[in-house]
Amino acid sequence: QGRRLAALAHAPTRTRDGVHMHLFANAEMPADIAAARACGADGVGLYRTEFLFLRGKQLPSEEEQFVAYRDLVLGMGGLPVTIRTLDLGADKADAAGLALHGEDNPALGVRGVRLSLRHPAVFTTQIRAILRAACYGPVRVLVPMLTQPDELIAVRTLFKLARQELSRAHVDLPEKLPLGAMIEVPAAAINMRALLAHADFFAIGSNDLAQYVLAADRGNDALEGIYHPLQPALLRLIAHVIGLGRRAGKPVSLCGEIGGDVRLTALLVALGLTEFSMHPSQLLKVRERLAGLDRTALRACAPRLLRADTYEDVQALLDQLA
């Protein structure tokens, strides 16, 4: 199997009926960059920046962050990289004490962009580092845990202010820097229409979207029968987000665990997904799987899949398709 997959490292990603698909890598630390290159990823679809904030007792400086982001950009050799702004809070508490402590319900608390916006100085340090790194290659910025448009507007404003400051100091700046919204809060998915005008692209965070739509902790094994990737409510939200994005002409990717699960590739194609981001270890397997799928036929099955009442029903339909 290893050799068969290795042969796919530099093959294009196409379905059996010739539809081109984009496969990006998720990266959490510098070592993942080489892995992303080795499997022939189209770029980095999710660069989690938390590692910089979790490894020491002090917040990382602008310079430290700049070096990490620049090395990511250079490491990808001109392929697009998507840097996600800080997603601390909930299960990710930093030693520097940025994340709040003692919240009764941290998963529903001050997390992700909510936390970043409460610390504009810390956030601006990250924003400046990203702006500077974006001169070295194509960069996009992704904002986690968005609920409503005002958060994205506030982030854009901080980027604009940081640009003005850097420009006054004669620092090189990228011409453009697309700003994207993670769709992982159910309200953002349901009311996605409100975000369309404010985001340049979208990335579905299916791990958290599932956790929040099902009210089931993503890490709690006792909830396996509830936290299930085939839950109809989750699938309908995913299809809704992909459809609205496509109609608005904005790219939509999916970067949760399910994006790298070959048992679910056919399903995601049926729902209209054309951009996947996943752990590099899964990428060649998904490329191989896609090559055996007929997208036209799968798309025709979407209405039936989306009408299913239970995840067992979805599974039965998928078994039939296979």
Interface contacts to ligand PEP, rule CB under 6 A: 46, 48, 87, 184, 205-208, 255-256
Pick between residue 70 and residue 111 the one whose CB is nearest to Mg ion. Answer: 111
Supply the minimum distance, in Å, between the C-beta of residue 201 and ligand PEP: 15
Q: Which stretch binds Mg ion (CB under 5 A): 26-34, 61-69, 125-133, 198-206?
A: 198-206
**Percent of residues in the chain assigned helix, strand, coil, to nearest 5:** 50, 10, 35
Cα 256 from Cα 246, distance rounded (Å): 19
- The answer to whether the beta carbons of residues 232 and 311 sit under 8 Å apart is yes
In the complex, minimum distance from the CB of residue 45 to ligand PEP, in angstroms, rounded to a whole number = 9
Q: Shortest gap between Cβ of 94 and Mg ion (angstroms)?
A: 16
Select the binding partner of residue 151 from Mg ion, ligand PEP, none (C-beta < 5 to 8 A, by kind): none
- Measured between alpha carbons, how far is 240 from 187 in angstroms, rounded to an integer? 12
d(CA 207, CA 84): 15
Active site residue 39: no
Q: Is 309 annotated as a binding residue?
A: no
Work out how close the CB of 157 gets to ligand PEP at its nearest, in angstroms, rounded to a whole number. 24
Which of 43, 45, 186, 205 is the binder for Mg ion (CB under 5 A)?
A: 205
- For residues 84 and 82, what is the distance between their CA atoms, to the nearest angstrom? 6
Taken as a whole, the chain contains a residue count of 322
Q: Is 247 annotated as a binding residue?
A: no
Joined together, the tokens standing for residue 182 give: 């993670």
Nearer to ligand PEP, 42 or 162 (CB): 42
User: CB under 5 to 8 A by kind: which of ligand PEP, Mg ion, none does 65 bind?
Assistant: none
State the DSSP code for 14.
B
208 binds Mg ion (CB under 5 A): yes
Question: Which residue bears the tokens 């996009």?
Answer: 140
Flag whether 218 is marked binding: yes
CA angle 72, 74, 75 (to 5 degrees): 60
Give the separation between CA 11 and CA 89, rounded to whole angstroms: 39
Q: Does the annotation list 84 as a binding residue?
A: yes
Strand partners for 205: none
Q: Which is nearer to Mg ion, 108 or 316 (CB)?
A: 108
Residue closer to ligand PEP by CB (options 40, 89) is 89
Nearer residue to Mg ion within complex by CB, 203 or 308: 203
Q: Which two tokens stand for residue 19?
A: 């539809």
For 217-244, b where at least 16 C-beta lie within 10 A, e where not — what string? Answer: ebeeeeeeeebbbbbbebbbbbbbbbeb
Closest CB 207 distance from Mg ion, rounded Å: 5
User: Which residues does the annotation mark as catalytic?
Assistant: 255
Binding site for Mg ion (CB under 5 A): 184, 205, 208
Q: Provide the annotated binding site for Mg(2+).
A: 184, 208
Q: Provide the annotated binding site.
A: 48, 84, 184, 207-208, 218
